[in-house]
């Protein structure tokens, strides 16, 4: 059998899981259901079966803003991607899969295209379905995986097979259908030839590109140029912005799968969950005898069918049913569980207000570590900074702010102008406005310090990087 190369699509924003999911740290990079992130669970699911299914290292297609997050999460679970392709702008799944296919065209493996934010309770059933899909893709089929419905769900598109479904075979697709109303969904369930559209696919790179060229030559051409003009940057491959920007935004479903005569569907019954809302998270986690799910420091009394997630504070609920409560350091969501699909409307309103609450958490991750904005006022801001062992911030300066660093633990190597010094616990240093400076952790333990900023403007865009080992401008 032809080798299988996973293509992991990780560019989504996950707005329905706000306030935990933010644009710069969306749901796929969060431990929503367990300690590992959804992205890491996707990679781990494949790593355990590399030899059995001839699965090679993955190609990851990611948002440029998430590049260091992706790299670190791969490193944390000892996954070395075949390539990490960065999209300069989101263009939906058809262009993303196209550039991945172009990157692999010479060896022409079977691509296993997976979203990075789905989970399964039965990994073996998932892998068994992959085997079936691989056999069909081997003979030039374009395979989608149809989830056996457990309810008349109105939030998913459906795939109708032309013949009765068989878990041991890939059967021809009769049609793809849009999200139905409830009565139509009930009819689909009764008929027995409809499955939920999972967004997972298998096909040879060459076969997909041939079909894309046939039906969407403009996407094919723009994606091909974006790949050919791509630049290597550290461990990343940056697609050409101009060419990729010309790609028409379209899903693989609309662009190819609904038009091809070679679409096949493999039924999948593996406890699939797309973790698309807080009610989905509630369903995915163990519930107590009253149907409640609790994460963090929480207490529920006389409550039923509720979900509580507490990150920083103790949260108590009393005498409520069907409620979702999600607490983070800077936001609190309280919603009826039946309305959580509309959380995206809150995100849209916050974006309209130009609120930063949709973009990042109070704690922000960087390739060198992280910082937590503890307090801020009109002309000051206080951060707790953590620098990983051996890591180094960029050589930089600020036009509008001065900084005062106080070392809490670890050792800091500080460069201010041409003067270098080592600071240990309880030592401090002052960086005037306009001074060129750099911070490094030369030790083997994390460096923690408090940074007090003061000045007329304290935005993150008042950073002039003079040199940076992570390739940031």
Looking at the fold, whether 291 and 435 belong to one and the same domain comes out as no
What is the token pair recorded at 406? 């106080």
What DSSP line would sit under 6-21, residue for residue? EEEE-----GGGTTT-
Looking at the fold, whether 263 and 286 belong to one and the same domain comes out as no
Looking at the fold, whether 297 and 422 belong to one and the same domain comes out as no
Looking at the fold, whether 89 and 209 belong to one and the same domain comes out as yes
In the listed set 316, 347, 378, which residue is the last one of a domain according to the structure? 347
Confidence at residue 376, expressed as pLDDT on a 0 to 100 scale: 86
Look at residue 74 and tell me if it is in a domain. Answer: yes
Looking at the fold, whether 115 and 193 belong to one and the same domain comes out as yes
Look at residue 275 and tell me if it is in a domain. Answer: no
Q: How many domains does the chain have?
A: 3
Q: Supply the range of the domain harboring residue 92.
A: 4-268
Confidence at residue 48, expressed as pLDDT on a 0 to 100 scale: 66
Looking at the fold, whether 335 and 424 belong to one and the same domain comes out as no
Residue spans of beta strands (DSSP E) within 236-292: 236-238, 263-268
Q: Which residues of the chain have pLDDT under 50?
A: none
8-state DSSP, 54? T
Report whether 431 contacts 393 (CB < 8 A): no
Look at residue 357 and tell me if it is in a domain. Answer: no
Count the Cβ atoms, other than its own, within 10 Å of residue 136: 21
Confidence at residue 259, expressed as pLDDT on a 0 to 100 scale: 95
Looking at the fold, whether 50 and 26 belong to one and the same domain comes out as yes
CATH of the domain at 115: 3.90.550.10
Confidence at residue 12, expressed as pLDDT on a 0 to 100 scale: 82
Look at residue 472 and tell me if it is in a domain. Answer: no
Look at residue 37 and tell me if it is in a domain. Answer: yes
- Distances 146 to 176, 177, 259, 325 between C-alpha atoms, Å: 11, 12, 17, 32
Looking at the fold, whether 295 and 432 belong to one and the same domain comes out as no
Looking at the fold, whether 188 and 257 belong to one and the same domain comes out as yes
Tens of pLDDT, residue by residue over 256-302, are 999 999 999 999 999 999 999 999 999 999 999 999 999 999 999 99
Confidence at residue 137, expressed as pLDDT on a 0 to 100 scale: 95
Confidence at residue 361, expressed as pLDDT on a 0 to 100 scale: 80
Confidence at residue 192, expressed as pLDDT on a 0 to 100 scale: 87
Looking at the fold, whether 316 and 292 belong to one and the same domain comes out as yes
pTM of the model: 0.87
Rounded to an integer, what distance in angstroms lies between the CA atom of residue 164 and that of residue 161? 7
Look at residue 84 and tell me if it is in a domain. Answer: yes
In the listed set 318, 347, 376, which residue is the last one of a domain according to the structure? 347
Rounded to an integer, what distance in angstroms lies between the CA atom of residue 289 and that of residue 293? 10
Look at residue 8 and tell me if it is in a domain. Answer: yes
Look at residue 409 and tell me if it is in a domain. Answer: yes
What DSSP line would sit under 148-188, residue for residue? PPSS--SSS-EEEESS---TTS-EEEEEEEPPP-HHHHHHH
Looking at the fold, whether 40 and 159 belong to one and the same domain comes out as yes
218 membership: H or E segment, kind and range: helix 217-228
Looking at the fold, whether 156 and 305 belong to one and the same domain comes out as no
Confidence at residue 166, expressed as pLDDT on a 0 to 100 scale: 86
In the listed set 246, 268, 290, which residue is the last one of a domain according to the structure? 268
Confidence at residue 270, expressed as pLDDT on a 0 to 100 scale: 94
Spacing of C-alpha 433 from chain mean position:
37
């Amino acid at each position: 059998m032809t080798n299988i190369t996973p293509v992991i699509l990780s560019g989504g924003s996950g707005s329905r899981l706000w306030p935990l999911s933010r644009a710069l740290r969306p749901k796929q990079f969060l431990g929503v259901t367990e300690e590992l992130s959804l992205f890491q669970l996707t990679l781990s699911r494949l790593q355990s079966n590399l030899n059995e299914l001839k699965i090679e290292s993955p190609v990851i297609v990611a948002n440029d803003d998430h590049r260091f997050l992706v790299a670190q999460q791969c490193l944390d679970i000892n996954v070395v991607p075949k390539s990490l392709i960065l999209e300069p702008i989101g263009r939906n799944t058809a262009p993303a899969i196209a550039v991945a296919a172009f990157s692999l065209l010479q060896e022409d493996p079977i691509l296993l295209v997976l979203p990075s934010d789905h989970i399964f309770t039965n990994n073996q059933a998932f892998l068994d379905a992959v085997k079936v899909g691989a056999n069909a893709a081997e003979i030039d089929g374009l395979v989608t995986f149809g989830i056996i419905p457990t309810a008349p769900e109105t939030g998913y598109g459906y795939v109708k097979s032309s013949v009765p479904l068989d878990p041991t075979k890939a059967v021809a697709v009769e049609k793809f259908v849009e999200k139905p109303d409830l009565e139509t969904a009930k009819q689909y369930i009764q008929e027995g030839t409809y499955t939920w559209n999972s967004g997972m696919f298998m096909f040879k790179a060459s076969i997909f590109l041939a079909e894309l060229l046939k039906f969407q030559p403009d996407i094919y051409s723009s994606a091909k140029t974006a790949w050919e003009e791509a630049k290597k940057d550290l461990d990343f491959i940056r697609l050409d912005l101009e060419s990729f920007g010309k790609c028409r935004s379209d899903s693989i479903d609309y662009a190819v799968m609904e038009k091809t005569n070679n679409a096949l569907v493999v039924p999948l019954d593996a406890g699939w969950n797309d973790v698309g809302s807080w009610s989905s998270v509630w369903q995915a986690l163990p519930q107590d005898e009253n149907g409640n799910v609790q994460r963090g420091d929480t207490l529920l009394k006389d409550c039923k069918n509720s979900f509580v997630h507490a990150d920083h504070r103790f949260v108590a609920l009393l005498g409520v049913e069907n409620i979702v409560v999600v607490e983070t350091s800077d936001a609190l969501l309280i919603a009826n569980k039946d309305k959580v699909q509309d959380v995206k409307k809150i995100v849209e309103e916050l974006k309209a207000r130009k609120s930063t609450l949709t973009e990042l958490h109070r704690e922000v991750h960087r390739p060198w570590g992280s910082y937590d904005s503890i307090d801020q006022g009109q002309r000051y801001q206080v951060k707790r900074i953590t620098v990983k062992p051996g890591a180094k911030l960029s050589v930089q300066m600020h036009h509008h702010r001065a900084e005062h660093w106080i070392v809490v633990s670890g050792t800091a190597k500080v460069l201010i102008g041409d003067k270098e010094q080592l600071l240990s616990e309880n030592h401090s240093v002052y960086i005037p406005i306009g001074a060129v400076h750099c911070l490094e952790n030369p030790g083997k333990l994390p460096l923690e310090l408090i940074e007090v900023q003061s000045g007329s403007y304290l935005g993150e865009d008042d950073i002039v990087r003079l040199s940076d080992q992570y390739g940031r401008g």
